Structure 1
Amino acid sequence: MDKHIGFIGSGNMAKAIIGGLLESNFIKREHIYASNRSKGKLESLGNEYGIQVSESNSHVAENVDIVFLSVTPDQYPTVIEEVRDRIKQDAIIVLIAGGQSIEQNESRFMKEVKMVKAMPNTPVLVKEGLTTLSFNGLMTDTDRQFIVDLFNKVGKTEVIDEKLMDIASAVGGSSPAFIYMYIEALADAAVLYGIPREQAYAITAQAVLGSAKMVLETNTHPAQLKDEVCSPGGTTIQSMAALEKNGFRSAIIEAVHANMAKLTEK
């Protein structure tokens, strides 16, 4: 693959993507560029991955075909003003900051530019991420497939309408925090009954991982999979009744409502 990819800003998410691309041999390491305001972080990144690093955002922008804007949302206006006249004519801009629309950032470039909104979640760090993608009208079918292939190196992808990005972020981007809390609570219960903490986390986390794979790989409705565990009059159905009594489902739905309210507040 001869394309060059650049990351303006090289925090944990950028590092995770870079690591996945290199591990999968999707791109040569000398074809990856990254910039950061911290010289120490750049040196560490260069030493760890053997990629091209620079303190200059413009240097990255003018040398790559795919530009990841992996800085915080408040830095977008400044960074785009800095690089908009330095990007290649056919460059693809990838937005990976929350609250940044395609239309908003197209206007900042003050010219037509291929653009992708991508919302990866933190499990990209272990190559099990979920990235939702939306494309603007200038992206060709080849461009779209390339971006999908790229993010598939750190997990799975779903292409959706941009108007659904907020809810996709709420259920795909924020939900790992919900699940970590569930794992912690379940492990606490295990510890209460005498299982050592380390083993409690191993048991509960593997149960979550295995259950997720059952949903994804069997294409069986989650309700059916649940029913298959619940024997009549057994212990699991008693547990399910307790969860229902304490509002487990409604608590999850309310958490998503709260997320959406925060995303859409003015």
Structure 2
Amino acid sequence: MAITRAMPNTPALLGLGATGLYVNDHATGAQRAAAKAIIETFGICVAVESENLLDAVTAVSGSGPAYYFLMIEEMICAGTALGLTPKDAKALTLQTALGATTMATQGDADSPENLRARVTSPNGTTHAAIVSMQENGFGGVIAKAMTVCRDRAVELGKE
């Protein structure tokens, strides 16, 4: 029996989704193509080779929008604490997120590491902020959160 499973995310509501797709070996090429074509009507489709990788897709893109929303929330709060009005902090934060994401997704975009490096002057303000994030375990926090998310998806799949 042909089985297709997909893990979309909420930006699919805007046609900007990121969906992981698994199609088992019983599906025909036409069935695979049809599933991919349907998903691509509301964003990108990434086919994964094994069904268990959908749990990793959940950790990256299924739950991913919430991670970005949390970052946005925290940046707005910090901007407000630094003296900006909530309205101004929100406008600046949202436009910055949109601009950075657009730069990172352009067809010939540089790697995220290179884009970050281009903004980070040695011993400058951005450098100080990045060092602070790294010293406070930012990468580890993200990796741990995504691992916990994946592990919970595995648990839920067994229930």
What TM-score do the two structures reach when normalised by structure 2?
0.88
Gaps of 5+ in 2: none
* Residue 146 of structure 2: aligned partner: 256
Per mean C-alpha deviation after superposition, the further-off stretch among 130-139 and 175-184 is: 130-139
Gaps of 5+ in 1: 1-111
* Residue 39 of structure 2: aligned partner: 151
Mapped partners of 1:140, 1:207: distance in 2:
44
* Residue 77 of structure 2: aligned partner: 188
Give identity over the alignment, percent: 32
Can you list the C-alpha shifts for 1:36-86, whole angstroms capped at 9, x where unaligned? xxxxxxxxxxxxxxxxxxxxxxxxxxxxxxxxxxxxxxxxxxxxxxxxxxx
Q: Pick the aligned partner of 1:134 from 12, 17, 22.
A: 22
What TM-score do the two structures reach when normalised by structure 1?
0.54
1:244 aligns with 2:134: yes
Structure 1 runs (4+) greater than 3 angstroms displaced: none
Alignment root-mean-square deviation, CA = 1.6
- Counterpart of 1:153 in 2: which secondary structure? helix
1:122 aligns with 2:25: no
Mapped partners of 1:264, 1:146: distance in 2:
27
* Matching residue's letter, 1:232: P
Q: How far apart are 1:261 and its partner, in Å?
A: 2.4
Matches within 5 A, 1:33-112: 112=1
Q: How far apart are 1:249 and its partner, in Å?
A: 0.7
* Residue 205 of structure 1: aligned partner: 94
* Matching residue's letter, 2:32: R
State how many pairs are aligned: 154
Can you list the C-alpha shifts for 1:144-164, whole angstroms capped at 9, x where unaligned? 222212211211111112231
Do the aligned partners of 2:58 and 2:153 also contact (CA within 8 Å) in 1? no
Q: How far apart are 1:209 and its partner, in Å?
A: 2.3
1:233 aligns with 2:123: yes
Can you list the C-alpha shifts for 1:84-110, whole angstroms capped at 9, x where unaligned? xxxxxxxxxxxxxxxxxxxxxxxxxxx
Name the structure with the higher helix share: 2
- Bigger relative contact order (CA 8 A; separation at least 6): 2
